[in-house]
Structure 1
Amino acid sequence: MSQSASLADYRTALTAPGARGPVITSLLGRLPIAMVGLALMLYVQRETGSFAAAGLVSAGALIGVACGSVAQGRIMDRVGPTKPLYVMSAVFAALVTVEVLVIEAHAPVALMTGLAFLVGLSEPMVGPASRALWSQLLPPGPARNAAYSYEAISMETFFILGPGLAGLMVAMPWPGTGVVVGAACMVLGSVGFASTRAARAQRPEPRQGGTSLLGAIATPGMRTVALAALGFGTLIGFIEVGVPAAAVEAGYPTAGGLLLSVLSISSVIVGVLYGLRPWPRPMHLRLPALLFGFAGLLALLALPSSLWGLCIALLVVGSLITPQSTAHSMAIEIAAPEGTATEAFGWVVTSVTLGAAIGQSVSGQLVELSGPAASFLAASAVGIAVAVVLWLRRRTLLTTTRNDVSLAGV
């Protein structure tokens, strides 16, 4: 299967009959995907004065997302996306309201963290639902591959753009503005997507290996994809705490979110170009190579002595963000059992968010103890170690058995 896509293929995918409504509404629903967690972290940091406490609360939300994305994805694979998105949007809105009240009351960090977990757990998973819908809208071929690449590029764009918006909104008179605005966008986008004709008409695909409790993660290849996404998310988590901490250390606390948004510039540009001619072309080599390169570049963030230098380093680091996300999305087509598309992408979201939770928690502690530079160097070492493990597991994507979910091999 060709894993590259031309610009014409992107145009064909995005203008396909029935695609316009889901594309527009899913964009609104995914815009805050990284904004809510970081806005929550910055909000708590402003209220408590502690990056460690803020990192724990944000990590709680991310772990909730990690748990909820797979469960919601499995349900959507069985009943379609409309009803689950309606229900979770209502629950999510109520829990965000309670969380804001608790933060305003300066409740114990443990309570804030527990509620943050529930907020993440209920976050409506419009991203996996949107990706799965393309198999209904487009036949197999270059246009569908382009659609999957578009999903990855847009997801990563929001993963990077969201922090910038969170940083801007935390500087407003009320620091909780980013949390409320992000949650409102997510609810409106999810409800809008669920109400489109294409989403309401979506029917579950026949499942193979449906009796497996592991579901989409049953194949060794899919577990390799999840590991790649976990390593990627961990490095993103380190960056999302280390960069704002560097801004605070430099005396510009409101610049952290804006600095994070710099990543999106090179990420999107290189991501589109990379989709036209990906390298390495074999997926079993691409996943470890991209993570290894990203981890190596991340060490550059420890070098600058000024925020301008950090800005330039972030442009370089951001170049390998979207290519990784695109590779994860494309690898699902190789590794996941048939009929588990939504759940499989849910595992990718789970892995990225769980990794981000780990990265944010560890980075928060390192920043408090040794400063941002130590956090960036630690992240680089962790990423290289995970890349080595991916290299050792590369053959699980070379001859993966997407239809044989009985395999129990590592």
Structure 2
Amino acid sequence: MSSYAAVLRTPHAARTFGAALLGRLSYGTVSLSLVLAVKDASGSFAVAGTDMALFGATSVVLSPARAALVDRHGPRRALVPMAALYAALLAALAWATARPGAPGALLGALVVTAGACTPPLGPAMRTLWSQLLPDRRMLQRAYSLDGVAEELLFVTGPLLVGVLVTYAEPAMGLAISAALVLVGTLGLVASPVPFPLRAARVGPKSSTPRTGPRPLARPVLAAACVGLCLGGLELLVVAFTEDLNRPGAVSWVLAALSAGSAVGGLANGAVSWRSSARTRLPAFCGALGLVLALAGLAPNAYVLAGTAALAGLFVAPALTTAYLIADETAAPGDRTKAGAWVNTAVNAGSSTGTAAAGLLAGSLPLAACFALTAAPALLAAVPILGANTGRAREGSRRLRPEPGP
């Protein structure tokens, strides 16, 4: 833990990180608040589910474009208008859903526009971490701490909403989400840490590798595969516990997954790895896939929970390492967009994995469904390992002495 204390003792780190977490707590509270508020206003779970899907789709798909604006114009000129518009739209949704009978078209328009304006506070904070901590080992610890804290926010947010709706209307959750994101964003942009701007690059060509499709494809592919596994696992856990007539065990299994991920993330950040991030990433993906494949053989919910905790040990390390590789391959003025691509891949993969598992669970045995859900992580390790092996062989040929005369 001393290594994490050293991260937070870095000048301006605790202040900047705290503001970013406050704003990102909004992402943990808004989803459940939105579903409950729209359902109360429309009287339909179908409308609530559709609006939530639209919100998630626009938020995820447009995330790299919004991050590119932050890279181009900086947090003050890009994040503040986004956060202000996003907060205003959430406040408008809170007003529209405060009474029943709100028009579905109005709710849908507000939801889609709000999703399109979601400020990329997570990618922006990771860019600031790379400015705060030029040392790669310290940056790994910061990314691990950031990832674990973000996961805890997504667990804490729905719990706070659950407490709130016992005393107030769900629309109040939307209003609180709006306040959180606005206050957190203003605190983040007030940080004195310099933000690397793409437009500020002048002079001769830098030796720093630019963000390109090939280098960035590796961490994005790995993140998408992890998302596919996680999305499929959540639905398969529901099916598994229903087969056992223990639907209440779902929360415990998923809590074990989150707990394992938190432990794995903290351990990954505390270790001073000798191997490179490009070597560790396929190893984490392969280990995650192997454990998930074995989860389908669990005889009861207790063993499944233990297996989920074991799988979680590799989730946060895999995602943290993917973010590190994206940061390494990005030019200084493209780091936010590179991190946003990884984040988009995780979220898109999770949604796709849930849909695919839903199709598989109705036609195949659960053990086979778990194995197929684990396949993306196992396959992700193959091309990345192949690329690393080829690079190592090329390096050995370069280092081999030339034959003498």
TM range (shorter): 0.7 to 0.9
* Number of residue equivalences: 386
The counterpart of 2:328, out of the listed 305, 329, 334, is 334
The counterpart of 1:128, out of the listed 123, 132, 137, is 123
Q: Which moved more, 1:39-48 or 1:253-262?
A: 39-48
1:93 aligns with 2:87: yes
Q: Which residue of 2 aligns with 1:405?
A: none
Q: Which residue of 2 aligns with 1:204?
A: 197
1:274 aligns with 2:268: yes
Distance in 2 (alpha carbons) for counterparts of 1:233 and 1:64 = 18
Q: Which residue of 2 aligns with 1:403?
A: none
Q: CA deviation at 1:234?
A: 1.7
Q: Which moved more, 1:330-339 or 1:187-196?
A: 187-196
Q: CA deviation at 1:240?
A: 3.6
| Kept after mapping to 1: 8 A contact 2:196/2:332 | no
1:28 aligns with 2:22: yes
Distance in 1 (alpha carbons) for counterparts of 2:57 and 2:203 = 27
Distance in 2 (alpha carbons) for counterparts of 1:48 and 1:308 = 36
Q: Which moved more, 1:358-367 or 1:345-354?
A: 358-367
Counterpart amino acid of 2:341? W
TM-score by length of structure 1 reads 0.74
Q: Which residue of 2 aligns with 1:3?
A: none
Q: Which moved more, 1:19-28 or 1:99-108?
A: 99-108
Counterpart amino acid of 2:313? S
Task: Using CA pairs under 8 Å that are at least 6 residues apart, name the structure with larger relative contact order, 1 or 2.
Answer: 1
Write out aligned runs for 1:4-403 (5 A): 7-33=1-27, 36-37=30-31, 54=49, 58-96=52-90, 117-140=112-135, 142-158=137-153, 161=155, 165=159, 176=170, 180=174, 183-184=177-178, 186-188=180-182, 190-198=184-192, 202=195, 204=197, 206-207=200-201, 217-244=211-238, 256-257=250-251, 259-277=253-271, 281-304=275-298, 306-367=300-361, 375-394=369-388
Q: Deviations over 1:213-248 (max 9, x none)?
A: xx9641522111111111112222223444455566
Q: Which residue of 1 aligns with 2:403?
A: none
Q: CA deviation at 1:324?
A: 0.8
| Kept after mapping to 2: 8 A contact 1:62/1:356 | no
Q: CA deviation at 1:166?
A: 8.1
**Alpha-carbon distance change, 382 to 223 in structure 1, aligned in 2, over 3 angstroms:** closer
Counterpart amino acid of 2:259? I
Q: CA deviation at 1:323?
A: 0.9
Distance in 2 (alpha carbons) for counterparts of 1:84 and 1:307 = 47
Distance in 2 (alpha carbons) for counterparts of 1:290 and 1:150 = 18
| Kept after mapping to 1: 8 A contact 2:26/2:178 | no
Distance in 1 (alpha carbons) for counterparts of 2:243 and 2:183 = 36
Counterpart amino acid of 2:127? A
| Kept after mapping to 2: 8 A contact 1:85/1:191 | yes
**Alpha-carbon distance change, 173 to 13 in structure 1, aligned in 2, over 3 angstroms:** closer
TM-score by length of structure 2 reads 0.75
| Kept after mapping to 1: 8 A contact 2:148/2:262 | yes
Q: Which moved more, 1:183-192 or 1:234-243?
A: 183-192
| Kept after mapping to 1: 8 A contact 2:69/2:78 | yes
Q: Which residue of 1 aligns with 2:402?
A: none
Q: Deviations over 1:251-305 (max 9, x none)?
A: 6767645542332222222222222336682323222221121122123443446
Q: Deviations over 1:352-378 (max 9, x none)?
A: 112122123323444566697665443
**Alpha-carbon distance change, 318 to 97 in structure 1, aligned in 2, over 3 angstroms:** same
**Alpha-carbon distance change, 182 to 61 in structure 1, aligned in 2, over 3 angstroms:** farther
Distance in 2 (alpha carbons) for counterparts of 1:27 and 1:217 = 27
Q: CA deviation at 1:249?
A: 6.5
**Alpha-carbon distance change, 331 to 194 in structure 1, aligned in 2, over 3 angstroms:** same
Counterpart amino acid of 1:154? A
Counterpart amino acid of 1:265? A
Distance in 2 (alpha carbons) for counterparts of 1:257 and 1:268 = 16
| Kept after mapping to 2: 8 A contact 1:301/1:376 | yes
Counterpart amino acid of 2:197? P
**Alpha-carbon distance change, 121 to 373 in structure 1, aligned in 2, over 3 angstroms:** farther
| Kept after mapping to 2: 8 A contact 1:80/1:202 | yes
The two structures, once aligned, show a CA RMSD in angstroms of: 4.4
